[in-house]
A and B are shown apart, each in its own frame.
Chain A
């Protein structure tokens, strides 16, 4: 009963115009960052992170939800119009949406992408509202050895999910864990890994890692590709009217409500997995839609069903990714990892305590996610759809110069330290070289966040067991997570999924040829 009243209170807080306006501002920021190729909702939250210091935490979280939902959805805009996904999660949308754009049915594709995002986002948010508050009891059952096994499970999944190169995923994650060990030890008042440099005693600020990994590395990648300019066919867009964006009833019926529901569930539960993210949600949902479709021939040539499956799933993922982040402090994807940073930087520790004693702070966030998907998304898309499409034409020089300045100044305001500004730049350079060699930098950030927790619980558990590692096999919660780790290892490594993203893309290319 307490949870229900808490959620109602959250909605009341959200509908205070002063709070709700933050969701709308966030939505526009997210739509902008999602629509510009190379920029993501994750980067947007990383950039506003320093500003959250002087903002009310509820407003900050509400704004972040708007950014999150809009950023995932807006990735489909450039995926459809210019065949460059604005966000990685829109890759499958590009496969189906761009052929429709070429056939002059771009508005229809965009409309279905927005409709799918709305359905997926709404169902994902509802599931979050239903599941998250009640998972607290479950989280309280996990004791210290179990907490270590849970984080170990999360770290192993983060690594295994990088199916293209598990070893590179492992390197990035381990590097993140290592960087987190620099500074004062967690349990003893002594400095570690300072390499004789006194200033390193203060450790590496989470903000510097987030801004460096996502903003500065992106800037360097874009500097490399400076000569490439995204071109949009203006002639094809002039004819688009607002009403063209509204999906026809007949088309929605053809796709089927069951497909929307299935894609939403796939997206939500993939979101719950640590490190999986929207891109995997969209891919799995798309592959499942294709497998079970009566119109398989249309796939790769502009299937509305394919667009609906991918977009529904990637927006449903938003709600799912927040569950482990809020309950255990384990982020489900890159954006929730940065969002975790927002909570930590503002003095909130995710976990059962947050969900039970400070629920009034997170409840408006649930409301913001739901309203962003159900109301703000369709309304803004209908009103501003034609303008969203033109976002891609923005001047790159002005855009990246602004991002760079906000990022560097942001790293300064978090600590008022020139040293942390330099650390931000160093992390940007490290992440740039890692990205060039296809190392997942999201894993680096997740390692940086989860590393200290893993070490803390490991040392505490071993201390409780007088140094005997058998303690991890004595408590049922720990055994459960260790078995879960083995199960995931079996399914992701030994019994590899039937089809990979590359194979599917290749298959679609062949079909369209």
Chain B
């Protein structure tokens, strides 16, 4: 029975399960804050709880609709997400070091990494570094010199 259920579960209803969990956490948090109606007047959780109830109905509806569709019908799968995951990891690292090592250095490394991920034809590493440097400088000039927005620097130089 469990194997049969696993076979039926596709990406669509997997997303529904995640949304269901999020909605439940939201409802628990709302009830923790306070009752939706107090002494005949609506409270701060009235509207959020109303939204949660409608969301539950929509999630359950989509879950059962997609449950009856085969993987082919759903139209997308999670098998091609290696590259997006790589982009997410690179971006997390970029955000983490952005203030620490400054805009210029972190951006050159970030752009270099992304060019490597997105490139369709293999390029010399020096050319990629050159492009990364040029793009980082152009964005720096755009923000710092044209729009006068200060970006984080490493030791007030880069």
Contacts and interface: CB of A to CB of B under 8 A. Distances in A.
A154 interface: no
Give the secondary structure class of A's interface.
helix
B149 A405 contact: no
Given A220-B87, A224-B80, A425 B117 contact: no
A472 B128 CA distance: 62
A493 interface: no
Interface string A414-446: 000010011001000100111011100000000
Contacts of A395: 119
A188 B44 contact: yes
B55 A171 contact: yes
B48 A167 contact: no
A462 interface: yes
B120 A397 contact: yes
A436 B139 contact: no
Contact of A53 (B42, B62, B75, B149): B149
A54 B80 CA distance: 40
A55 interface: yes
Contacts of B62: 165, 167-168, 171
B72 to A, nearest CB: 14
A405 B139 contact: yes
A498 interface: no
Contact of A412 (B98, B114, B116): B98
Interface string A307-336: 000000000000000000000000000000
Interface string A29-60: 00000000000000000000011011100000
Interface stretch (A105-113, A189-197, A279-287): A189-197
Contacts of B61: 167
Contacts of B80: 224
Contacts of B149: 50-51, 53-54, 413
A348 interface: no
Given A171-B59, A463-B41, A195 B95 contact: no
Contact of B55 (A178, A224, A425, A462): A178
A346 interface: no
B151 A459 contact: no
A124 to B, nearest CB: 31
Contacts of B123: 397
B120 A229 contact: yes
Nearest to B149: A413
A401 interface: yes
A58 to B, nearest CB: 16
B21 interface: no
A224 B29 contact: no
B88 A174 contact: no
Interface centre among B29, B37, B41, B114, by most A CB within 10 Å? B114
Interface in A209-246: 216, 219-224, 226-227, 229
B154 interface: no
Contacts of A404: 87, 91, 110-111, 114
Given A226-B83, A405-B107, A467-B41, A425 B139 contact: no
A267 B42 CA distance: 41
B135 A402 contact: yes
B47 A409 contact: no
Contacts of B52: 178
Contact of B29 (A193, A396, A421, A433): A193
A345 interface: no
Contact of B84 (A177, A220, A405): A220
B151 A437 contact: no
Given A409-B103, A425-B95, A437 B111 contact: no
Nearest to A429: B88
A418 B99 contact: yes
A409 B151 CA distance: 9
Contacts of B115: 397-398, 401
24 contacts: A51-B149, A53-B149, A54-B149, A167-B61, A170-B55, A170-B58, A171-B55, A171-B59, A178-B51, A181-B47, A188-B44, A192-B33, A224-B84, A226-B83, A396-B118, A397-B114, A397-B120, A405-B135, A409-B139, A413-B149, A437-B11, A437-B15, A437-B74, A462-B41
Those 3 A-B pairs whose CB atoms lie nearest each other, nearest first = A401-B114, A397-B119, A397-B115
Given A397-B114, A402-B135, 6 more contacts: A168-B62, A175-B55, A226-B120, A404-B91, A409-B143, A432-B84
Interface of A: 50-51, 53-55, 165, 167-168, 170-171, 174-175, 177-178, 181, 185, 187-188, 190, 192-193, 195, 216, 219-224, 226-227, 229, 395-402, 404-406, 408-409, 412-413, 418, 421-422, 425, 429, 432-434, 436-438, 451, 454-455, 458-459, 462-463, 466-467
Interface of B: 11-12, 15, 19, 25-26, 29-30, 33, 37, 40-42, 44-48, 51-52, 54-55, 58-59, 61-62, 65, 74-76, 78, 80-81, 83-84, 86-88, 91-92, 94-95, 98-99, 103, 107, 110-111, 114-120, 123, 131-132, 135-136, 139, 142-143, 147-149, 151
